[in-house]
């Protein structure tokens, strides 16, 4: 390897180690390219900082602003309660309602905020039933399933959209910056949404029929409790309605943007997101003169660190490609010739799923994207071959509380132990490894234009 590739390897190892161990804050590690790349002669300061302004970062920024507006005016809670009420009041129906509500909200709002909002609602139902001594014995599995389904549905729901979870947008930005392949909001959703529809019933089946059999047949008062909570938040407010309209228009523009491409070529997913965010600072709240739906102070909760992590990961990927390190990795991967592609995908997905149990899914994605893309090219395949399933796999961590914020939030409720979470999570990890690998290989790869050979060459 050339000296510049060795230097890039050293920076990559340093950043990967600090990301995984969180020796310093993940966002702080993500700033290292700005300092080290120019000093080591890997790239100029302009080249090192350019990825920090990638359009996909602005897409996520706009998505965060919309999510904060939904949380500020409690629109997300109203949506969740309505979905739960709609599906019925049997124990199985209530669990289904929580799964649908959690997954839907996580498509648009951060999975952390969704879990924090859904957990108190779930605990209210659990405490209501817990008061009935004759039901206490059959309640245990119900409460474990209910709280776990929130965490797991939040994780799975994020797969459905490009803004659902940071790894999705990071992948889209990486693959466009380095290989010129555009993954639009609509194109991702064609893959992510059906996959979510497959994984949610699988998760429900594993939890209720296999790991924690659901024996509770009746849940007196469950529907009444949800109706009471809806009454407490009152009728839909002007603020909620205006945020809902902005959200609805934005989602439609994201999904149907390809239809406008011929006469609005300058319209982009990032532009739509930022326009929606600006509208929320312009539209009046209707409470008092001069008050808008959002003020800048409302963005204190915006996860700026995630946006910096995007930039750091993309800057590192750029250096891996331009330094020649990617080419070297690709050459080394030729040793995998004559191994079935499906088997390689299975191994990659399995490794990423279990690695993300112990560290940030975004950091894992940022670390492995350039390596996996180089591996695919090295065996004569499309750079997305391993990178895309690995990106999705990074959101499928179900075993440990530290794996994702929803897992930690649910564990903090005291309703589920680590062994119980690990037991359910292990079965989910194995099942999703198989389903993700096979559906990607036989269905989604063809849609993306990835021509697969039976063996690498």
Q: In the predicted model, what is the mean pLDDT of residues 80-88?
A: 78
Tokens of 208: 């209720």
pLDDT in tens, 88-143: 778 888 899 889 989 998 898 878 778 887 888 888 777 766 555 555 556 788 88
Residue 454 pLDDT: 45
Give the integer Cα–Cα distance in Å for 297 and 300. Answer: 6
Question: Which contacts (CB < 8 Å, 24+ apart) does range 118-124 have?
Answer: 118/80, 118/150, 118/154, 119/147, 119/150, 119/409, 119/410, 119/413, 121/77, 121/80, 121/81, 121/84, 121/226, 121/229, 122/98, 122/146, 122/147, 122/150, 123/413, 123/415, 124/225, 124/229
Residue 82 pLDDT: 83
Q: In the predicted model, what is the mean pLDDT of residues 292-296?
A: 91
- Looking at per-residue pLDDT, the higher value among 2 and 450 belongs to 2
Count Cα atoms within 13 angstroms, Cβ side, for 105. 35
- Looking at per-residue pLDDT, the higher value among 133 and 253 belongs to 253
Residue 456 pLDDT: 43
Give the integer Cα–Cα distance in Å for 11 and 158. Answer: 30
Give the integer Cα–Cα distance in Å for 156 and 63. Answer: 18
pTM of the model: 0.80
Query: 142 by DSSP, 3-state: which?
Result: helix
pLDDT in tens, 231-242: 888 888 899 999
How many CB atoms within 10 Å of residue 207? 24
Sign of CA dihedral 315, 319, 325, 330: positive
How many CB atoms within 10 Å of residue 261? 11
Q: In the predicted model, what is the mean pLDDT of residues 354-370?
A: 82
């Amino acid at each position: 390897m050339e000296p510049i590739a060795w230097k890039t390897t050293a920076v990559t190892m340093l950043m990967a180690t600090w990301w995984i161990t969180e020796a310093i804050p993940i966002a702080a590690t993500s700033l290292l390219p700005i300092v080290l790349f120019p000093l080591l002669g890997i790239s100029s300061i302009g080249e090192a900082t350019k990825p920090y302004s990638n359009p996909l970062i602005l897409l996520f920024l706009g998505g965060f602003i919309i999510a904060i507006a939904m949380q500020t005016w409690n629109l997300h809670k109203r949506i969740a309660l309505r979905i739960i009420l709609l599906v019925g009041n049997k124990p199985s129906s209530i669990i289904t309602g929580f799964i649908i509500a959690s997954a839907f909200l996580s498509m648009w709002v951060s999975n952390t905020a969704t879990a924090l909002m859904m957990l108190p609602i779930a605990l209210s139902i659990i405490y209501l039933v817990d008061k009935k001594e004759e039901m206490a014995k059959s309640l245990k599995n119900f409460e474990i399933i209910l709280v776990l389904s929130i965490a797991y549905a939040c994780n799975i729901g994020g797969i459905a959209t490009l803004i659902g979870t940071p790894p999705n947008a990071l992948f889209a930005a990486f693959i466009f910056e380095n290989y010129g392949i555009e993954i639009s909001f609509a194109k991702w959703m064609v893959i992510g949404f059906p996959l979510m529809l497959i994984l949610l019933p699988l998760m429900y089946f594993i939890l209720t029929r296999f790991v924690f059999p659901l024996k509770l047949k009746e849940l007196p008062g469950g529907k009444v409790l949800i109706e009471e909570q809806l009454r407490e938040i009152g009728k839909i407010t002007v603020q909620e309605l205006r945020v809902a309209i902005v959200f609805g228009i934005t989602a439609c523009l994201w999904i149907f943007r390809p239809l406008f491409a011929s006469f609005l070529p300058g319209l982009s997913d990032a532009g739509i997101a930022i326009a929606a965010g600006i509208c929320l600072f312009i539209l009046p709240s209707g409470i008092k003169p001069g008050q808008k739906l959002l003020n800048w102070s409302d963005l204190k909760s915006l996860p700026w660190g995630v946006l910096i992590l995007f930039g750091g990961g993309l800057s590192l990927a750029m250096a891996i490609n331009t330094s020649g390190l990617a080419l070297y990795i690709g050459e080394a991967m030729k040793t995998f010739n004559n191994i079935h592609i499906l088997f390689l995908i299975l191994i990659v997905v399995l490794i990423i799923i279990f690695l993300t149990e112990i560290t940030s899914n975004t950091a894992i994605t940022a670390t492995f994207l350039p390596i996996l893309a180089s591996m695919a090219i090295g065996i004569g395949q499309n750079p997305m071959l391993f990178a895309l399933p690995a990106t999705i796999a990074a959101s499928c961590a179900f075993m440990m509380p530290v794996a994702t914020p929803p897992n930690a939030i649910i564990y903090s409720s005291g309703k589920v132990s680590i062994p119980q979470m690990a037991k359910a999570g292990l079965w989910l990890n194995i099942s999703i490894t198989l389903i993700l690998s096979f559906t990607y290989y036989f269905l989604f790869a063809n849609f993306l234009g990835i021509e697969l050979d039976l063996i690498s060459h």
